[in-house]
């Protein structure tokens, strides 16, 4: 590119200025493009995780007993009995984890539905149900549930839309910082601070996948560590 600049019939001083800053410009353009592509690939990764995580979870849950039995058959009868007891405890933990998330979704749906009714937005029951269901979707769920509520409020007045937005933000903050750690922690026998730490650590280490599986993995590790401790003290 510098060679082409030299071919232009321009004052020597101007050519020197252009050539001097051309490398910086090329470097800047490269950094911008690299940042854009990196962000785009990261966004695609989150979309794929959002789409395929429920599908993967469905197939695992649907064939969980077959997967578990096939794994247990690899061991001797004595070891198999021990692992069977552990697997039952893990099953209970995962069931409680799902129950906890359903309770959280019910809280969010009820809170947003009641808020919509008090504010005066049309179809509060439908808004509440939609908000509760979409809250089960990681990350994008609260946004997907909030858009229809705010849109319906905005169709009546901007003031109602503002009130609805504030209500949704407050409820989502309560859910993520207080309700979810408390309910999930009680269901799994984990302190709320452990839940928060697991989510932060999972997100730091593995991004969206880490945050999705951090809490159930922590609960499973608690079962395994507890079983190992009992074996050591026997």
Domain spans of the chain?
Answer: 2-52, 63-233
Q: In the structure, what pLDDT confidence band is assigned to residue 159 with cuts at 50, 70 and 90?
A: very high
Confidence label for 118 from pLDDT (cuts 50, 70 and 90): very high
- The answer to whether the CB of 213 falls within 8 A of the CB of 202 is yes
Record the pTM: 0.64
Cβ density class 168-193: b for 16+ within 10 Å, e for less: beebbeebeeebbbebbbebbebebe
> Over the chain, what is the mean pLDDT?
81
pLDDT score recorded for residue 109? 93
Mean pLDDT across 136-158: 85
Alpha helices in 73-157 (DSSP H): 77-119, 124-134, 141-156
Question: pLDDT confidence of 230, banded at 50, 70, 90?
Answer: confident
What integer is the mean pLDDT of 76-80? 80
pLDDT confidence of residue 2: 45
Q: What is the pLDDT of residue 136?
A: 82
Q: How confident is the model at residue 20 (pLDDT cuts 50, 70, 90)?
A: low
Give residue 16's pLDDT: 63
Quickly state the pLDDT bin for 213 (edges 50, 70, 90): confident
Task: Measure the CA–CA gap between 80 and 73, rounded to whole angstroms.
Answer: 7
Place of tokens 């922690």: 185
Which tens digits make up the pLDDT trace of 21-73? Answer: 666 767 778 788 888 888 777 777 777 766 776 677 777 777 777 887 788 88
At residue 168, does pLDDT exceed 90? yes
Nearest-angstrom CA–CA distance, 81 and 158: 63
């Amino acid at each position: 590119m510098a060679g082409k600049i030299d071919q232009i019939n321009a004052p020597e001083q101007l050519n020197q200025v252009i050539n001097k800053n051309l490398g910086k410009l090329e470097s800047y353009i490269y950094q911008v493009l690299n940042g854009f592509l990196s962000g785009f690939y990261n966004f695609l990764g989150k979309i794929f995780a959002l789409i395929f995580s429920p599908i993967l979870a469905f197939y695992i849950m649907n064939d969980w007993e077959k997967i578990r039995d096939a794994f247990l058959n690899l061991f001797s009868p004595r070891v198999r009995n021990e692992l069977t007891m552990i697997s039952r405890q893990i099953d209970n933990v995962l069931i409680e984890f799902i129950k906890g998330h359903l309770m959280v979704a019910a809280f969010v749906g009820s809170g947003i539905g009641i808020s919509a009714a008090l504010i005066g937005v049309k179809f509060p029951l439908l808004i509440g149900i939609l908000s509760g269901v979409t809250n089960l979707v990681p990350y994008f769920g609260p946004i997907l549930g909030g858009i229809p509520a705010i849109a319906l409020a905005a169709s009546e007045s901007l003031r109602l839309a503002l009130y609805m937005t504030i209500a949704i933000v407050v409820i989502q903050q309560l859910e993520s910082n207080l309700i979810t750690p408390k309910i999930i922690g009680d269901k799994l026998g984990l302190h709320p601070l452990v839940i928060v730490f697991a989510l932060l650590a999972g997100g730091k280490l593995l991004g969206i996948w880490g945050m999705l599986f951090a809490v159930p993995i922590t609960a499973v590790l608690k079962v395994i560590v507890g079983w190992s401790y009992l074996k050591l003290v026997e």
